[in-house]
Structures are given as structure tokens and as C-alpha cells.
Amino acid sequence: MESRVCVLGAGVIGLSAAVNVQLLIPGVDITILADEFEAETTSDGAAGHFGITKERTNSDINNLIRWARDSFEWYHRICISEDANIAGIHRFHGYQLWRSAKPTPFHSKFDYAYRKLSVRELKQLPGNHTYGWASETLMVECRRYLPWLMNKFREKGGKIVCQRLRNINEIEQFYDVIVNCTGLRSRNLFQDKEIVPVRGHTIRVKAPWIKSFYIADDGDTYIYPGQDNVVLGGTRQRGEERLEKDQRYYDDIMRRCCNLVPSLKHAEIERTWVGLRPWRSGGVRLEVETIPVRGRPVPVVHNYGHGSDGVCLSWGCGVHAACLVKQQLNQQNAHQKLSKL
Ligand SMILES: Cc1cc2nc3c(=O)[nH]c(=O)nc-3n(C[C@H](O)[C@H](O)[C@H](O)COP(=O)(O)OP(=O)(O)OC[C@H]3O[C@@H](n4cnc5c(N)ncnc54)[C@H](O)[C@@H]3O)c2cc1C
């Protein structure tokens, strides 16, 4: 019989896992179950800068390198293909500026180019900073990338169920393996006390003259030029989960970004956004747990808790999650064969 897999979640983590399962297990019967899609997800609002930080994600270093490297290679392949524009992926150059010397950043392992700025270059840049890096990396804009991935999933016969699960037993069908990509809401659905929201605010402005990215104030102020607009940020408020928009935060972001690049005061504001990063004290959870679902034990491949770096890690984590799904299905098939002997 055909194996049946259900992926919970249609953010960048769920879609990447689902497409990877299709690539690794051709002919698999696969469904994505979620209550929010595309613009309703946290992933849609992510800035999309490929500037992974090991400090923020808090995961095992070897796993982080593997996930980030697989993701970067995937995004790079799209970036040099005819799909780059429609998938929302482009290569860009920019500056990270500091008040004091810093150790080589983790993201330099993946950047196309990375170097320390000279005193002369620092003088030419805004903000009187005394230390900085120039780097070249990728920008992945989920407003384009999520629909592009969803098309890939549908083209390969993937099914969609729109449903809000209050409890895992509300899943209507029987599945051989479930992949849990519910992000922050794994806290209630799978009773994970380690997961904490880190609230972030951004502003999208029209400023087509901004061609480079800028990061300052210990990474808290950022300016990322995208294809349709420029993302200005940000905030990192641990434990805060109210999603009401508070103008004070947007005024403060605008003030910091204009200090860094004064021409931004002429930019027209397109939209403001607030979202919750799914941060987990024990790091990203990517492992199998067997739990009872409507009275039957079902392997659940957890894939959540990507904090500030879900876009950077999504494809690599999807590759890893798909391998775990295949292992589980192989074990079930071997077990069925044995029981028939
Ligand atoms: C301001 C800000 C800026 C960011 N910038 C970047 C960046 O530059 N680079 C980067 O890599 N990352 C960035 N991130 C982080 C990134 O957004 C997240 O790590 C990522 O979106 C997490 O993806 P996800 O798929 O796990 O979650 P989500 O996008 O939240 O998707 C969760 C999915 O699960 C479904 N779901 C959950 N619970 C249930 C349920 N009970 N029943 C049914 N469906 C359910 C939802 O419907 C949804 O489809 C940023 C985040 C914020 C807030």
C-alpha cells in the first residue's frame, strides 16, 4: 500500500519539508494540513536575509552548519536559474557596522564574499562606526518564495487540508508518519514548554535607490533591499506575544534606520508588520517521537523552533526531516514483511 504522510504547517518549514519528502520518496501520498497559508504565516513577514547567527538559534553547531549549507546551496541554485525572480531570491551586497571589534561571524562560512572593512571605507559609510564587515549573501523573500514552493508541492500531486487542530487527535485521516512544522504553536499542540516567542516589528518602504543592505546597533537595526520594497527593522522582544501594532516601535525603527541611512526619510511607507519568532531554549527540535494518535502509535518527525533563522535553515532542515520520514517508512515496511512470514 502507498505510504501516507501528513505535514502539519504551511510556513517555510512545512513547505520545505513537504517538497523534500516528495523528492526523496517518489509516489508518496502527502498532505499539508494547516490553518494559515502564505501571507497569514510568520514566514511571510520574515525579512529573509541569509545572515545566520549561531547565538540566536541555539542549536548543535554541526547540525546548524549542515542545515545552513544545504539551504544556501539550494537557494544559490534557484538564484542563478530562470526562477530567481518569481521565487523571490537574489544576491546582494552590504555592510554590518559596529562600535568595537568583533570575532569573525558564523555567517561568513556561507557568504559569497566576506571581509573586514578598512578605516577609509568605514569613514565613507554612515554612522561613524569603528569596525565593520562587508559581505555578499542571499535574500529570500517569502512573499514570493512560499507560493513558488506551494506550486512545486501541488505539481507533484501534494494535497492540502485547511484545518485548525486544537488537539493532535482531531486529525481525521490515518497517516503512517506525521511531520510537525507548527512553529511556535508546537508549544500547545505538543506541550513543549521550551518554546518562547520573540516578537519582531518591521516596516516595508518604497526606496528603490537603496541597493546595499546595512546592519548596525548590534544587529538590532537593519535595512534590506528586496525586489518590491526595502525592509526596515527591527525589534527582538523575548516573551512578548501580543500582535497589536504599537506605533512607538515603528517610530523607533524609522528613527534608527534614518540615522543610519538619512535618505530613508524620503521613503514612502508601504506596510508595517509584527510577528513572533519561534525560539526554543533547547535549540531547533528535529527528531522523531512516537505518540498515540486516535489510539494508534504514530511516529512524529518534529521540525520546529527555528527562532530568527527559519528561512536560512528551512531547506536543510527539510532535507533532514525527509530522511527521518523515509527511515520510519522503511522500518514500518520491514516490520510488515516480517509479520507476513
Ligand atoms: C521580524 C522577523 C524577522 C525575521 N527575519 C528573518 C530573516 O531575515 N531570516 C530568517 O531566516 N528568518 C527570519 N525570521 C524568522 C522566521 O520568520 C521564522 O523562523 C520562520 O518563519 C518559522 O517558520 P515556521 O514554518 O516554523 O512557522 P510559521 O511561518 O509560523 O508557520 C506555522 C504553520 O503551522 C500552522 N499551524 C500551527 N499550529 C497549527 C494548528 N494547531 N493547526 C493547524 N495548523 C497549525 C500554521 O497554520 C502555519 O501554516 C524573522 C522573524 C521575524 C518575526
What would the grid cell of residue 275 be?
510577528
Give the mean model confidence (pLDDT) for residues 317-331: 97
Using a 6 Å cutoff on CB, does residue 179 contact ligand 1? Answer: no
Q: What is the mean pLDDT of the chain?
A: 95
Helix 310-340 vs helix 12-24: crossing angle, to nearest 10: 40
Please give the Cα distance from 186 to 166 (Å, whole number): 11
User: Tell me: the pLDDT tens digits for 259-305?
Assistant: 999 999 999 999 999 999 999 999 999 999 999 999 999 999 999 99
At 11, give phi and psi (nearest 5°): -80, -170
Please give the Cα distance from 245 to 178 (Å, whole number): 35
Q: Which letter does DSSP use for residue 129 in this model?
A: -
Model confidence at 217, pLDDT cuts 50, 70, 90, reads: confident
For the cut 90, the answer to whether the pLDDT of residue 114 exceeds it is: yes
Q: What is the pLDDT of residue 54?
A: 78
Q: What is the pTM of this model?
A: 0.97
Q: What is the pLDDT of residue 341?
A: 72
Residue where the block lists cell 497569514: 40
Q: What is the pLDDT of residue 189?
A: 97
Using a 6 Å cutoff on CB, does residue 30 contact ligand 1? Answer: no
Ligand 1 center to 183 CA (angstroms): 6
Using a 6 Å cutoff on CB, does residue 303 contact ligand 1? Answer: no
Closest to 16 (Cα-Cα) out of 36, 40, 39, 43: 43
Beta strand 221-225 with 230-233 is antiparallel
Q: What is the pLDDT of residue 115?
A: 96
Beta strand 29-34 with 159-162 is parallel
Ligand 1 center to 169 CA (angstroms): 23
What would the grid cell of residue 282 be?
533547547
CB-based contacts of 338, cutoff 8 Å, min separation 6 = none
For the cut 80, the answer to whether the pLDDT of residue 58 exceeds it is: no
Ligand 1 site-directed mutation target among 41, 59, 203, 241, most atoms within 8 Å of CB: 41
Share of the chain above pLDDT 90, in %: 91
Using a 6 Å cutoff on CB, does residue 311 contact ligand 1? Answer: yes
DSSP string of 38-66?
GGGSHHHH---B----HHHH---HHHHHH
Ligand 1 center to 263 CA (angstroms): 31
Ligand 1 site-directed mutation target among 42, 195, 314, most atoms within 8 Å of CB: 42
**Counting beta carbons within 10 angstroms of the beta carbon of residue 57, is it exposed (0 to 12), middle (13 to 18) or buried (19 or more)?**
buried
Ligand 1 center to 184 CA (angstroms): 7
Using a 6 Å cutoff on CB, does residue 275 contact ligand 1? Answer: yes
Q: Which letter does DSSP use for residue 13 in this model?
A: H
For the cut 90, the answer to whether the pLDDT of residue 339 exceeds it is: no
Using a 6 Å cutoff on CB, does residue 284 contact ligand 1? Answer: no
What would the grid cell of residue 54 be?
549561531
Closest to 223 (Cα-Cα) out of 44, 93, 122, 33: 93
What would the grid cell of residue 48 be?
529573509
Using a 6 Å cutoff on CB, does residue 57 contact ligand 1? Answer: no
For the cut 90, the answer to whether the pLDDT of residue 184 exceeds it is: yes
Using a 6 Å cutoff on CB, does residue 181 contact ligand 1? Answer: yes
Using a 6 Å cutoff on CB, does residue 18 contact ligand 1? Answer: no
Model confidence at 1, pLDDT cuts 50, 70, 90, reads: low
Residue where the block lists cell 522523531: 288
Using a 6 Å cutoff on CB, does residue 278 contact ligand 1? Answer: yes
Give the mean model confidence (pLDDT) for residues 43-68: 90
For the cut 80, the answer to whether the pLDDT of residue 12 exceeds it is: yes
- Pair 235, 249: CB distance under 8 Å: yes
**CA angle in degrees (0–180, nearest 5) for 261-263-269:** 100
Atom from ligand 1 closest to the CA of residue 37: 49
Please give the Cα distance from 138 to 49 (Å, whole number): 6
The full set of domains in the chain, from first to last, is: 4-336 (3.40.50.720)
> In a 3-state reduction of DSSP, which class is residue 7?
strand
CB-based contacts of 156, cutoff 8 Å, min separation 6 = 19, 22
User: Tell me: the pLDDT tens digits for 75-108?
Assistant: 999 999 999 999 999 999 999 999 999 999 999 9
User: Tell me: the pLDDT tens digits for 123-170?
Assistant: 999 889 999 999 999 999 999 999 999 999 999 999 999 999 999 999
Closest to 173 (Cα-Cα) out of 291, 296, 289: 296
What is the four-CA torsion angle of 219, 220, 226, 228, rounded to 10 degrees? 180
- Pair 128, 248: CB distance under 8 Å: no
- 4 versus 340: the higher-pLDDT residue is 4
